[in-house]
Structure 1
Amino acid sequence: MIKTGNMRRVSWSLMVCFCFWQGANAAQPAPPVSYGVDADTFHPVKDRHGMVASVDAMATQVGVDILKQGGNAVDAAVAVGFALAVTHPQAGNIGGGGFMLLRTASGRTTSIDFREMAPVKASRNMFLDAQGNADSKLSLTSHLASGTPGTVAGFALAAQKYGTLPLSRLLQPAIELARNGIVVNDSLADDLKTYGTEVLVNHPNSKAIFFKADGTPYQKGERLVQRNLAHSLTLIAKEGPDAFYKGAIADDIAGEMAQHGGLISKADLAAYRAVERQPISGSYRGYEVFSMPPPSSGGIHIVQILNILENFDLAKMGFGSADAIQVMAEAEKYAYADRSEYLGDPEFVKVPWQALTSKAYAKTLANQIDVAKARPSAEIKPGNLAPYESNQTTHFSVVDKDGNAVAVTYTLNTNFGSGIVAGNSGILLNNQMDDFSAKPGTPNVYGLVGGEANAVQPYKRPLSSMSPTIIAKDGKTWLVTGSPGGSRIITTVLQMVVNSIDFGMNVAEATNAPRFHHQWLPDQLRVEKGFSPDTLRLLESKGQHVKVQPAMGSTQSIMIGPDGMLYGASDPRSVDDLTAGY
Structure 2
Amino acid sequence: MKQWIIAAALGVSFQLMAAPPVSYGVEEDVFHPVRAENGMVASVDATATQVGVDILKRGGNAVDAAVAVGFALAVTHPQAGNLGGGGFMLLRTAAGKTTAIDFREMAPARASRDMFLDAQGNADSKKSLTSHLASGTPGTVAGFALALEKYGTLTLNQVITPAIRLARDGIIVNDALADDLKQYGSEVLPQHANSRAIFWKNGQPLTKGDRLVQKNLAKSLEMIAELGPDAFYKGAIAKQIAFEMEENGGLIDMIDLANYKAVERAPVSGSYRGYQVYAMPPPSSGGIHIVQILNILENVDLAKYGFGSANAMALVAEAEKYAYADRSQYLGDPEFVKVPWRALTSKAYAKSIAQQIDIDKAKPSTQIKPGNLAPYESEQTTHFSVVDKDGNAVAVTYTLNTTFGSGIVAGNSGILLNNQMDDFSAKPGTPNVYGLVGGEANAVAPRKRPLSSMSPTIVVKEGKTWLVTGSPGGSRIITTVLQMVLNTVDFGMNVAEASSAPRFHHQWLPDELRVEKGFSPDTLKLLRQKGYKVSVQPAMGSTQSIMIAPDGKLFGASDPRTQGSLSAGY
Tell me if TM exceeds 0.5: yes
- Report Cα offsets for 1:395-449 as digits up to 9, x if no partner: 0000000000000000000000000000000000000000000000000000000
Of residues 100, 118, 122, the one that matches 2:89 is 100
Equivalent residue runs for 1:310-459 within 5 Å: 310-390=298-378, 392-459=380-447
* Contact 1:206–1:420 (8 Å) recurs in 2: yes
* Contact 1:50–1:399 (8 Å) recurs in 2: yes
Question: SS at the partner of 2:535?
Answer: strand
Which of structure 1's runs of 4+ aligned residues deviate more than 3 A?
Answer: 19-27, 33-36
Partner of 1:476: 464
* Contact 2:91–2:395 (8 Å) recurs in 1: yes
Code of the residue aligned with 1:62 in structure 2: it is V
In the alignment, the residues of structure 2 paired with residue 543 and residue 26 of structure 1 have an alpha-carbon distance, to the nearest angstrom, of 28
Partner of 1:142: 131
Aligned Cα root-mean-square deviation (Å)? 1.2
- Report Cα offsets for 1:267-295 as digits up to 9, x if no partner: 00000000000000000000000000000
Code of the residue aligned with 1:106 in structure 2: it is A
- Superposition deviation, residue 38 in structure 1: 1.2
Code of the residue aligned with 1:87 in structure 2: it is T
Of residues 155, 159, 165, the one that matches 1:170 is 159
In the alignment, the residues of structure 2 paired with residue 225 and residue 476 of structure 1 have an alpha-carbon distance, to the nearest angstrom, of 42
In the alignment, the residues of structure 1 paired with residue 356 and residue 174 of structure 2 have an alpha-carbon distance, to the nearest angstrom, of 48
Equivalent residue runs for 1:239-258 within 5 Å: 239-258=227-246
Code of the residue aligned with 2:87 in structure 1: it is G
* Contact 1:25–1:312 (8 Å) recurs in 2: no
In the alignment, the residues of structure 1 paired with residue 221 and residue 125 of structure 2 have an alpha-carbon distance, to the nearest angstrom, of 32
In the alignment, the residues of structure 2 paired with residue 231 and residue 160 of structure 1 have an alpha-carbon distance, to the nearest angstrom, of 22
Q: Are residues 1:64 and 2:53 paired?
A: yes
* Contact 1:51–1:581 (8 Å) recurs in 2: yes
In the alignment, the residues of structure 2 paired with residue 495 and residue 145 of structure 1 have an alpha-carbon distance, to the nearest angstrom, of 32
- Superposition deviation, residue 25 in structure 1: 3.6
* Contact 1:97–1:150 (8 Å) recurs in 2: yes
Q: Are residues 1:189 and 2:178 paired?
A: yes
In the alignment, the residues of structure 1 paired with residue 21 and residue 70 of structure 2 have an alpha-carbon distance, to the nearest angstrom, of 38
Equivalent residue runs for 1:289-308 within 5 Å: 289-308=277-296
Partner of 2:273: 285
- Superposition deviation, residue 363 in structure 1: 0.2
Q: How many residues align?
A: 562
State the TM-score, normalizing by the size of structure 2: 0.97
Can you give the 5+ residue segments of structure 2 that lack an aligned partner in the other structure?
Answer: none
Distance 1:549 1:21, change over 3 A: farther
Q: Are residues 1:114 and 2:114 paired?
A: no
Distance 1:422 1:38, change over 3 A: same
Deviates further, 301-310 or 191-200: 191-200
- Superposition deviation, residue 33 in structure 1: 7.1
Distance 1:34 1:149, change over 3 A: closer
- Superposition deviation, residue 34 in structure 1: 7.2
In the alignment, the residues of structure 2 paired with residue 401 and residue 331 of structure 1 have an alpha-carbon distance, to the nearest angstrom, of 37
In the alignment, the residues of structure 2 paired with residue 360 and residue 216 of structure 1 have an alpha-carbon distance, to the nearest angstrom, of 57
Partner of 2:493: 505
- Report Cα offsets for 1:486-511 as digits up to 9, x if no partner: 00000000000000000000000000
Q: Are residues 1:154 and 2:154 paired?
A: no
Partner of 2:555: 567
Question: SS at the partner of 2:284?
Answer: coil
- Superposition deviation, residue 23 in structure 1: 4.0
Code of the residue aligned with 1:105 in structure 2: it is A
Of residues 42, 55, 63, the one that matches 2:31 is 42
Code of the residue aligned with 1:248 in structure 2: it is A
In the alignment, the residues of structure 1 paired with residue 517 and residue 8 of structure 2 have an alpha-carbon distance, to the nearest angstrom, of 28
Code of the residue aligned with 2:97 in structure 1: it is R
Partner of 1:519: 507
In the alignment, the residues of structure 1 paired with residue 436 and residue 19 of structure 2 have an alpha-carbon distance, to the nearest angstrom, of 35
Code of the residue aligned with 1:137 in structure 2: it is K
* Contact 1:517–1:526 (8 Å) recurs in 2: yes
Partner of 1:55: 44
In the alignment, the residues of structure 1 paired with residue 393 and residue 22 of structure 2 have an alpha-carbon distance, to the nearest angstrom, of 27
Question: SS at the partner of 1:228?
Answer: helix
Distance 1:326 1:35, change over 3 A: same
Code of the residue aligned with 2:244 in structure 1: it is E
In the alignment, the residues of structure 2 paired with residue 477 and residue 35 of structure 1 have an alpha-carbon distance, to the nearest angstrom, of 17
Question: SS at the partner of 1:39?
Answer: coil
In the alignment, the residues of structure 2 paired with residue 469 and residue 20 of structure 1 have an alpha-carbon distance, to the nearest angstrom, of 28
In the alignment, the residues of structure 2 paired with residue 530 and residue 227 of structure 1 have an alpha-carbon distance, to the nearest angstrom, of 44
- Superposition deviation, residue 32 in structure 1: 2.4
Partner of 1:576: 564
Can you give the 5+ residue segments of structure 1 that lack an aligned partner in the other structure?
Answer: 1-18
In the alignment, the residues of structure 2 paired with residue 249 and residue 320 of structure 1 have an alpha-carbon distance, to the nearest angstrom, of 50
Code of the residue aligned with 1:536 in structure 2: it is L
- Superposition deviation, residue 59 in structure 1: 0.1
In the alignment, the residues of structure 2 paired with residue 208 and residue 182 of structure 1 have an alpha-carbon distance, to the nearest angstrom, of 16
Partner of 1:14: none
Q: Are residues 1:90 and 2:98 paired?
A: no
* Contact 1:103–1:404 (8 Å) recurs in 2: yes
In the alignment, the residues of structure 2 paired with residue 185 and residue 63 of structure 1 have an alpha-carbon distance, to the nearest angstrom, of 19
Partner of 1:7: none
* Contact 2:23–2:492 (8 Å) recurs in 1: no
- Superposition deviation, residue 21 in structure 1: 11
- Report Cα offsets for 1:323-370 as digits up to 9, x if no partner: 000000000000000000000000000000000000000000000001
In the alignment, the residues of structure 2 paired with residue 35 and residue 53 of structure 1 have an alpha-carbon distance, to the nearest angstrom, of 20
Distance 1:35 1:507, change over 3 A: closer
Question: SS at the partner of 1:98?
Answer: strand
Partner of 2:518: 530
